[in-house]
Amino acid sequence: MDCSNIKNNGVFCMHPWVTQIKNPLGNIRLCPSKNDYHDLTKNMREAWNSKDIIEVRRNMMNGIKTPKHCQGCYQLDKQHIASERTKSLENVTDEMIQELLEHTSDTGVYDKYPEYLSLSLDIECESVCVQCNKATSKAWKEISPFLVENATHRVLKADFRTRYEFDDNSYDWSNQDTEFWPVFWDVVENIKHLYLAGGEPLDSAKVIRLISELS
């Protein structure tokens, strides 16, 4: 394959080859963009070459769009706004793409693990920053009833209500999922960039323990 043509075919992106994201619910996301992909398989190894992921890779290699997962980037590209897709290609050489393709089958199966892993182990946080919500801070659950009761604008009242209506157990996946940690320690040796998200990562006892064990 001509690497230059693939890089400039308008759909190719590095994320399906280098990125894996575990969100606060334990689901695996395709990339940092707000896409519709959430793999039902929470096992990182299984999700890496899941049916949807290999379809995305196969389409990208052949210049075919995958709107159900990547529409957000396509829309930004059309408006000439930097998207996660275009940002992923910055400083990427033909040689780097060639190496990826050498490890990728025609069906889209990639035989190496991701280089970038984003991990949200829980939503421990003592702050209630206005840009955050129930997916990033447990503190919203405590203060939201007061805000809902005292908000005078119906839109604000509805917004605050959504910030505390959630099940604590939904965010405890890293304690409940017995498969996660063995798989994590198996693949982490390949990781070049580990991004610890949250919540506030340094408010999390699990994150502090993980940093200690990694170091």
d(Cα 41, Cα 146) in Å, to the nearest integer? Answer: 37
Q: What is the pLDDT of residues 48-86, one digit of tens each?
A: 998 889 999 999 999 999 998 899 999 999 999 999 999
Q: What is the pLDDT of residues 84-123, one digit of tens each?
A: 999 999 999 999 999 999 999 999 999 998 999 999 888 8
Position 49 scores a pLDDT of 92
pTM exceeds 0.85 for this model: no
Nearest partner of 121 among 47, 171, 71, judged by Cα: 171
The full set of domain ranges for the chain reads 3-120
Higher pLDDT, residue 176 or 146? 146
Residues 6+ apart with CB under 8 A from 35: 29, 69, 70, 71, 72, 73
